[in-house]
Amino acid sequence: MSTETPPPAPGSAKPATSPQIGADEWVQRSGERTTGPGGLFGYASRTAGRTPAFVLLLVFVGVACAIPLLTSNGYVIGVDADTMLYVLLAMGLNVAVGWAGLLDLGYIAFYGFAAYLYAELSSGHYDIHWPTWQSVPLVIAATILLGFVLGSPSLRLSGDYLAIVTLFFLEIFNNFTTNGYAWNWLGLGATHDITGGPTGITNVDPFRIFGRVLDNRPTDYVWVAAAGFTVIAVLFHYVNRSRTGRAWRALRDDPLAAEMMGMPVKWLMLLAFAVGAGVAGFAGAMNGAYYQGVFPDTFTFPLLITIYAMVVLGGVGSLGGVVLGAVVINVLLEVLRTPDHARWIFYAALLIGVLVKVRPWRLLAAVLGGLVVFGVVVNQIVGETWARGVAGPIAVGPTSFTKNGFFATLIRHWQVLPGNTYEANDYRIGNYAFVVAIVLVLACTVVKGWKRWTLLVPTIWVAAFAWENVLIEQAPTTRPLFLGVVLIVLMAARPAGLFGQNRVEIV
């Protein structure tokens, strides 16, 4: 006799938006199976789901390796190499945070430790020049060992406390590398220059493999990173499907139950840290060789958050997801450096956001139309009353501006660009507009109905105003700002990320 509650009629149920305990998911989601997420994204994700993993791997590595062959633009190849480094780091962080569910806010300390160790062994700092085939394995092994050590607090602490302690480790590491040029042991003995201080260690040797010195930067390191990535991706793919991978996932769900079911939880936690550290070890050594120098302000908290953003965006726990997340975030961050290209992102994001959120068609048309009209009207009014107000150019490069070009003309008639702001470094109007834009955005989330759509128009306009007049110019500020916004919006809209699973947690 059936003991389940009668399932809802197939197809009549709306696809569940969040997992529910006791609800037969297979039946509930039958509707979804016939009508999944539509459009391009749905097609892409279903195809990706059906493709065997090694094909995806080949495609990815193929693209990464093809770039240096297709272009001779050093900048682009550099971005390729950097992205591969980030991909490695994201995969490594994913082990502890995504698979085992251990909050590690000190991961970058492994990365930095490896880089510095490599630098110590293969540079002019102590004038030791170990060959690559000796230094890299040693660096990786040492970092794994460090992973066991720094992972040991996880045996006693959990959750937020573990996060704080690991963050302390990162801060300790930072302090040490920045001030490590005058280290003496408790005031006794001689002073040693261990880390080179704020200026770091330069003249680090590049890799030397099979007699060949890899000093064709960045191209050579794209190959190195791609090779490393292939190996690590394969190993991780298999481990995820093995008993250790299952044990990590069990430990994430319920450590006590896992222990009771025969899984050595303490060892598994240390192992998670150590494996992630191993990946960071390889990445760190590569970092040292690639940049031919190591510097303390590379391995800091903001870098950690960048990696976290990648992992979280891609989907915590999903190997393919974090790779994708790394690519997306790094590429976006790079594009944000140049105003001309960054502009595309802003308006594209705006457009996509409006397209997705504002339905039906008529409302969408009204909002967009209203937006254009609003902008032009304001532009005209300001133009009449305050000539300087519309006299400014738009930014297209770090220090270059223009009034010409298709895009520039469009914007100049739609937006208000006060002259003498960029030129005189006077961003006050833009700054205040930025704050106003934030307030308006928050207000939009609060009001409902027609008020929201009417409010949306000036909100978008003011945001674009702030963008054109301030943010687009200030890359060092806008990039972390962008990261922060990504994190906030992502957690509010889709905590599982692009490819993560919606999880059930018993709190």
Partner 1 sequence: MSGVLAFQLYNWHFFFQQLVGGVTAGSLYALIALGYTMVYGVLKLLNFAHGDVYMVGVYIGWFVLNALGSPTDPVLPLVPLLLVAFAASMLGCGVLGVAIERFAYRPLRNAPRIAPLITAIGISFFLEQTAVLLWGANPREYNAFSLHNGELFGFVNVGNFGIEYVQLFVIVATVVLMIGLSLFVWRTRTGKAMRAISFDREAASMMGIDVDFVIAVTFLIGSALAGAAGVMTGLISPTGSLNPYMGFGAGLKAFTAAVVGGIGNIVGAVLGGLFIGIVETFTVAYFSSQFSDLILFSLLVIFMLIRSTGFRGTAVLQKV
Partner 2 sequence: MSENGSDRKPLLELRELSISFGGLKVIDRLDLHVNEHEIVSVIGPNGAGKTTVFNLITGVFEPDVGDILLEGESLIGLSPHKVTQRGVARTFQTLRLFLNMTVKENVMAAQYGRTKATLLEQMLRLPRARREERRMNEVAEEKLGFFGERLMGYRWNQPAYSLSYANRRRLEIARATATQPRILLLDEPAAGMNPVETHEITELIGKLRDEGGYTILLIEHDMHVVEGISDRVVALDHGVKISEGTFDSVATDPRVVEAYLGTSAAVTK
CB of 152 to partner 1, least distance (A): 8
Which one of partner 2, partner 1, none is in contact with 382 (Cβ closer than 5 to 8 A by kind)?
Answer: none
User: What's the rounded Cα separation, in Å, for the pair 102 and 90?
Assistant: 15
> Can you list the pairs that 327-333 forms with residues at least 24 positions away whose Cβ atoms lie under 8 Å?
327/83, 327/87, 329/86, 329/483, 329/486, 330/79, 330/82, 330/83, 330/86, 331/79, 331/83, 332/482, 333/306, 333/479, 333/482, 333/483
Contact positions with partner 2 (CB under 8 A) in 6-35: 19-26
350 binds, among partner 2, partner 1, none (CB under 5 to 8 A by kind): none
Instruction: Give 160 or 423: the residue with its C-beta nearer to partner 1.
Output: 160
Separation of alpha carbons 279 and 93, rounded Å: 9
In the chain, the amino acid numbered 356 is V
Amino acid letter at 294? Answer: V
**Closest distance of CB 70 from partner 2, Å:** 33
Strand-pair partners of 394: 402
Owner of token pair 């790094």: 330
Q: Which does 264 bind (CB under 5 to 8 A by kind): partner 2, partner 1, none?
A: partner 2
List Cβ neighbours of 86 (8 Å cut-off, separation of 6 or more). 306, 307, 310, 326, 329, 330
Residue 21 to residues 331, 380, 505, Cα–Cα distance (Å): 39, 58, 10
In the bound state with partner 2, the residue whose beta carbon lies nearer, of 420 and 501, is 501
**Interface positions with partner 1 (CB under 8 A):** 97, 103, 153, 156-157, 159-161, 163-165, 167-169, 171-172, 175-176, 179, 182, 184, 187-188, 256, 301-302, 305, 308, 312, 316, 427, 431, 434-435, 438, 442, 445, 470, 474, 477-478, 480-481, 483-488, 490-492, 495, 503, 505, 507
Tell me which of partner 1, partner 2, none is bound by residue 182, counting a contact when its beta carbon lies within the kind-specific cut-off of 5 to 8 angstroms.
partner 1
DSSP code of 11? T
Cβ 497 to partner 1 shortest distance, Å: 10
- At 213, which helix (H) or strand (E)? strand 212-213
Site for partner 2 in 220-279 (CB under 8 A): 235-236, 238-239, 241-247, 249-250, 252-254, 256-266, 271, 275
The entry of partner 2, partner 1, none that residue 90 binds, CB within 5 to 8 Å by partner kind: none
Print burial letters for 457-487: b (CB count within 10 Å at least 16), e (below 16): bbbbbbbbbbbbbbbbbebeebbeebbeebe
Shortest CB 26 distance to partner 2, Å? 6
CB of 439 vs partner 1, minimal distance in Å: 9
Q: At what angle do helices 265-291 and 219-240 cross, to 10 degrees?
A: 170
Give φ, ψ of 505 to 5 degrees. -130, 130
Q: Does 452 bind partner 2 (CB under 8 A)?
A: no
Shortest CB 4 distance to partner 2, Å: 5
Residues near partner 2, by CB under 8 A: 1, 3-5, 19-26, 235-236, 238-239, 241-247, 249-250, 252-254, 256-266, 271, 275, 501, 503-504, 506
